[in-house]
Every structure is written in C-alpha cells, then in structure tokens.
Structure 1
C-alpha cells in the first residue's frame, strides 16, 4: 500500500504541502491515503481492480488493456448498485440512486474501505492517548510478535532518543541489532525527528525503526531512505494498526454476513 502511494505521488508530481495533509478526524492517515482508499473501493466495486491478497491490488483482465476510465461514471454506477442492494434489503426505506457532487462516500451508502472503518479510528484514538510507558510496552509486544527477540524498553532518561532495543533474526541464520523509537504523535513526524533519531544510534546498532501513531511527512520518508546515511525503517499509525491486527494484540475479529434474499427467492 505504501508503495502504491509513493507511485501515485510520483505520477501526479504532488508537492509536499499536499502529500503531508492529515485527514481530518483520522490523525494516523493522510488525506491522500484516505482518498486513495476510497478510490480503490469504487474501482473494485466497479470491477476495474481486484484485491488479490491483503494490501495487493491488481487490474482485472477486463480492464487490462483499457487506458482510462471515467471516475464520475464509476461513482454513479457504484452508487446505483448500492442503492439497489439496500432497497432489496429494506424495501420500505428509500435510497438515493445517483451521486451528488457534495456527497461523501458514506452518504452514498458505499461500504467503507478497511483503512477508514470506525474501529480503526477508535483504535488510533486509544493508541494516541495511552500512557507513554504503556505504549512502549505495547510496541515491545508488537515487535516480539513480528519475530524480534531480546526486546528491551529503555527505562533510563537521557537515552538519546532510543526507546528500546532488540534482535531480529532472519530465516534462523542472520541476526541484526535493532534500536527503536516510539512517537505517540497526533499529526506528522518530520525530517528533523528522523535526523535526531539517527544521531542517537550507537555503533552497535545495525537496524533502526521509528514508529509513530501518526504519519510521516514526505521529507521524513526521503530522509529515512537517504542511501548516503544510515537508513531508518518507518512504521506509521496505519501500519502499526495492521501489525496489531495481524498479531491479534488486544483485538478480536467479528464476522457478519449480509443475506441476499433475492437469491433464496429465485433459486
């Protein structure tokens, strides 16, 4: 998902001031990521793309050789499809059959993409308001679940910005000494914070991870990836939530089903 946003930024030549705008009411997501999530939802509903696996999207064979699509047509058709579905579920409740320019996707009854569902907003709020030491212990647990060993949270003050250390073992053969820093931010982490973290690393550190509940600015990502310096791996709020969910840390899944009554009537 992160790679697709980077490609979108490059393709559209988006300036930093646009890329770095946080989505109102969703501090762990940029406005660009929010709009991209809804665009994928509409394109999938229309049959242009498919979700091959988690966070992996591909153009369907039907549209493999199509150069352009009309966004307004797609939105209008998806709204109609959703209106028809809602009418079949609750025939006594009227539903709109066309989209208006000032309508939000929620107004049009389109199911929210996973990235913007209410439970993610709630979890973001919980993470951003946790006790700071509790948050560091949570990160310790997340990293352990991701394959880190000997994960320790630094308790001493004046530790130079390093909140903890650990070892990451790859394929049971290679291991790396890792240092991490946690930033319980609402909003964006910038390039200066990345530089400060890099400056705090000692010679024994082979990998470094900077984790935030917010987002990283475009400049921060460029600074972290600068190949002339020690590179820093970044985990933003949305990626942190993904890791929490994948490892079932403090969350559990609820499955619901929508009944297609017309199927049973017409079979």
Structure 2
C-alpha cells in the first residue's frame, strides 16, 4: 500500500507506541508503524526532500498533531512518549483531532493547508534548512576529506587511536579506532564512511560485516544517506556481530552538537510589557 496521509497515521502511531512500551525513538516508531501497515521497502524509502522520506515526513506531522492534541510528548533526546491522556485512549477520530487542534488555535489554517499539500511550515523549513545545507556540504566533500572528517568526529566523541586506512581491496573498511569504556574496557572498532545520496542496502551491510569480522570487536557504518529497513534489520541480525549505524540526519546533529563546521548562535529575545498602573499613578 502507498504511505497514508498524515492524519491516517494517528492511530497506527498510537498503537505502535503502546506496543513499544509507551515510548520510542523516531526510528523505532517508523519501524513499528511500517510493520503495522505492511508498507513495502519502496514505500518506506521514497524520498520527499533532501534526506527525508515521505513516510518519515508524514509521520512527523502525525506526531506534531498528536502532541498538540495532548496525547504525545517528547524529550530533548528525541524520545517520544504517550502522555497520561495518551495511555488511556485506544483510538482517535482523525478528523476530530485535526478540527480540534485547528479550532484551539494551535495550528493556523494556512499551516493545515500546507500540511495536507505536503509542504513544510516556516518552522519546519527553518529546522530543515540547516540540515539540508549541512548534508549538501558533506556530499560535496572529496572522499578522503570526508574520511578525515569522520576521523575527527570519532576523536571528538571519545575514540582513541583513530586511523583512516581507505585502502582499495580492504572490503569497505575506511578506518579503525579504539573506544574505551570507563577507562577500563577497550573495544576495537572498524568503520566505513560513505557519502551516499540515497539509501544504504542490506547488501552493503553484509559486505562490511564480512570485512570486519575477525579484525575488530565492533563495526560502525557512517553515511550521509539513509539506511533501508532491511539494512537496519541486517545490522542487528541474530547470530551475527551487530553493527552500529549513523545516518545523514544523525550525522549532522552530531556535527552541530560538537560544533564541527556548524556554527550555533544564541539569540536573546526581549520580552516587553506595559505597566498600566505605573502610568496611572504618575
């Protein structure tokens, strides 16, 4: 089936969160909702804009409406959870949610029309603009420069002895490093970093795993693109060494947090109010 409209995702999203224990990250939500709706790989991976899929975009709108309706809440760490009201609701009437949110003034009529036309609101455009710009800058980098950036990223994240190999015939391994936990336990990590425009397939994950088995304790795949649902499943397949994955959206957020190539300037907002009593007493 094709990806439903954003308001048709309200109930599948609520069901998915209940099945996931009342809270979930965005990737967990997407996986659960896609499974509930029996969406195909093509449905899930169809690109809407930049690095964002149509499915992820519409599910994002579903989260926004359910949050404004009072059924969802989210933390700064990107985890979404059912509110107390959300846990007590089995199903909602999508038209009622849209109507009530609009009537309460939480979403302007123009914003609703943009959502239905699959256009971003000014707020979403502002949020996506820097991410799209960062991804474009990454994709324009030379391959060896991107490998050095990943090396710097891992060092800033606490890795030591990070080396870029990038040798041809090395099975896709671009580098290696060591991560130390608590100053006691060390794990050797092989990483692959690829500037993909589209989605990384499960085949690429299998090839990478085959190259790093016996040479490292863990594997890390970094891409400017996305990972297909099958690729994510393959990375965590039972009986095989698990691989960690960083997609383009996660990569640019990490760069922003570490201030690597992304400048963040805080703005001070002046709040002004008029003291009418002061004028009356003067």
TM-score range, shorter chain: 0.7 to 0.9
Unaligned 5+ segments in structure 2 are 1-25, 278-282
C-alpha change, 1:118 and 1:73, in structure 2 (3 Å) is farther
1:1-267 residue pairs with structure 2 within 5 A?
A: 1-23=26-48, 25-26=49-50, 28-79=51-102, 81=105, 96=110, 99=113, 102-104=116-118, 106=120, 109=121, 111-112=123-124, 117-256=128-267
**How many angstroms apart in 2 are the aligned matches of 1:266 and 1:225?**
64
What RMSD, in angstroms, separates the aligned Cα atoms of the two structures?
2.9
Q: 1:60 to 1:157 in 2, by over 3 A?
A: same
The alpha carbon displacement at 1:44 in A equals: 2.1
Distance 2:215 2:264 in 1: 40
TM-score of the aligned structures, taking structure 1 as reference length: 0.81
3-state DSSP class of the match of 1:117?
helix
Unpaired runs of 5+ in structure 1? 85-94
With 37-46 and 238-247 compared, the bigger mean Cα shift is at 37-46
Higher relative contact order (CA 8 A, sep 6+): 1
CA contact (8 A) 2:31 2:229 kept: no
1:184 positional shift: 0.4
Compute the displacement of 1:252 (Å): 2.4
Aligned partner of residue 111 in structure 1, secondary structure: helix
Query: If each structure's helix is expressed as a fraction of its own residues, which one has the higher value?
Result: 2
1:156 deviates by: 3.3
Q: Write the distance in 2 (CA, Å) between the matches of 1:129 and 1:72.
A: 44
Distance 2:270 2:97 in 1: 25
Alignment partners' CA distance in 2, 1:66 and 1:266: 45
Give the match for residue 88 of structure 1: none
Q: TM-score, normalised by structure 2?
A: 0.77
In the TM superposition, residue 181 of structure 1 has moved relative to its aligned partner by 0.5
Structure 1 pair 72–246 and aligned structure 2 pair: CA distance change class (3 A) = farther
